[in-house]
A and B are shown apart, each in its own frame.
Chain A
Amino acid sequence: MNRIALSLTIAATFLLLGLPTTSAHAQASRTWVSGVGDDVNPCSRTAPCKTFAGAISKTALNGEINCLDPGGFGAVTITKSITIDCHEVFASILFSGTNGINIPFNSFSASDTRKTVRLRNLNLNGVDTGIVGIRITGGTTITGGVVIIEDSLIDGVFAGAATGILDERTGGGELYISNTSVRNAGTFGIAYNPGAAGQRVDIALDNVRVQNAANIGILIGNNGRAMINRAVVTGNAQIGIGGSGSLASAEVNVSNSVISNNGLGVGNLAGTVTIRLSNNDISFNTTGFSGATQSHFNNRIQGNGSLGPAPSPIGSTSNPTGLQ
């Protein structure tokens, strides 16, 4: 009899000890934020959270945070594969004096095999004092990683590194940005600017608008390989699109884009950089080009203050356009 009582007591103790653990790990695949929510809530549709930071701890790995209604949902640091998608709802992040979204891949778990962050339909405003809109770091302990940014707007970053989207990874990975505007940045609009040669980051920018960066609109640094398509890069004070490969070669292909009203249109800035241009309008820049660039000879280059070194033909003597 005593033995049965003892067994029951032990079982009950284990059960009680286990309960808090179970509830702490109860994460939903889909969570919700609302302008009138509260972070003490479970972030369900009927009891939504107030901020992305509050919702992310209640969202499962590879899960999704959605927005119930318009609101400002606050700066957030993302440390696991997740989707934040506020399509059809105005979802703002104000980030005064700090970064809007941090994605430190070194803080991701090794068991997070996807290492993929998807951001969709977000409006990030640094209210003139933001440091970086979306900052991607890591690569020393966790390599790879995919960041997808769609249908978003980033504005008003003029403090510190002052960049709309800044990828500083050295461990390689992928960065995809589409249908997104970045404007009014104190340094760079969109930059892949790692602190070392590292491993290659593949970048695809489609239908992006980069306006009024005080330094460079789009910068591709060491070991970056970027395909830029349908971009409008305009009004950037120093350089529209630049490549810098001082430690490892960088490649930049620019197609079907407008590069206008920048200090310098396209710049091969340092080290080993290959820039290929096809079917672009490059106009009204103070200077069209700096350094070596290559052209399929189907670009419209006109109205620049000065041309700079003209692009060289990509193809052979018999086929100078290089088109196939």
Chain B
Amino acid sequence: MRYAMPIFPLPYSSIWLGAAMLVGTTIATTAQYIPHTPVDPNQRQAVLVNQDVSDCSGRDVSSVNSPAVRGTIWATRLFDGNTSLKIAMTANRNTVYKITIKCVGPIGDLKTDEEGVGNLSLVFPTKIVGAEYSFELAPEVAPAGSRYQSAQISFK
């Protein structure tokens, strides 16, 4: 014998359960001390992860800090119609990495030094990307394990 699920009225136990879940969610979000840091509304920051492939938007790249994170990208929309890009990464030593906006095209090169550290700033026209995009950094010859994908940059 089957019973139809009643919609109304809600039993008190359900209300208490919902309230408990709400409190639980609130507590979970305050588990860590979250600092109040001023953020430039025109700037986005995303990690570069040692990962061979990702989709065009970088939605499938984890933005969680982990040992796989090998760099950080800052994208800042400027008032002159350009986007300023700052890239900092620590990867293989003395290697030139091609910087590509995923599914758009290459925009420059970054060379790491003797200790594997590479820093680069450049600009590109904002109009060549949409509101969501991501980057790939890869050496000219890129065997498995040598590519880096950025998490998503989103200005939505």
Contact = CB atoms under 8 A, between A and B. Distances in A.
Contact of A127 (B45, B47, B66, B117): B117
Given A129-B88, A159-B72, A215-B37, A99 B32 contact: no
Contact of B31 (A92, A132, A214, A247): A247
Contacts of A72: 114-115
A129 B110 CA distance: 15
Given A97-B89, A97-B90, A247-B27, A270 B116 contact: no
B51 to A, nearest CB: 14
B37 to A, nearest CB: 7
A185 B48 CA distance: 20
Interface in A117-154: 127, 129, 131-132, 135
Nearest to A166: B65
A71 B4 CA distance: 73
A275 to B, nearest CB: 15
B37 A187 contact: yes
A108 interface: no
Contacts of B72: 97-98, 129, 131, 159-160
Contacts of B117: 94-96, 127
B76 to A, nearest CB: 14
B45 A160 contact: yes
Interface string B55-69: 000000000011101
B118 A195 contact: no
Interface residues of A, number: 44
A269 B90 contact: no
Contacts of A238: 35-36
A199 interface: no
B77 interface: no
B30 interface: yes
A75 B116 CA distance: 9
Given A96-B118, A97-B87, 10 more contacts: A129-B72, A135-B65, A186-B37, A188-B35, A193-B33, A215-B35, A215-B37, A244-B33, A269-B33, A270-B33
Interface of A: 72, 74-75, 77, 92, 94-99, 102, 104, 127, 129, 131-132, 135, 159-161, 168, 186-188, 191, 193-197, 214-216, 219, 221-222, 238, 242, 244, 246-247, 269-270
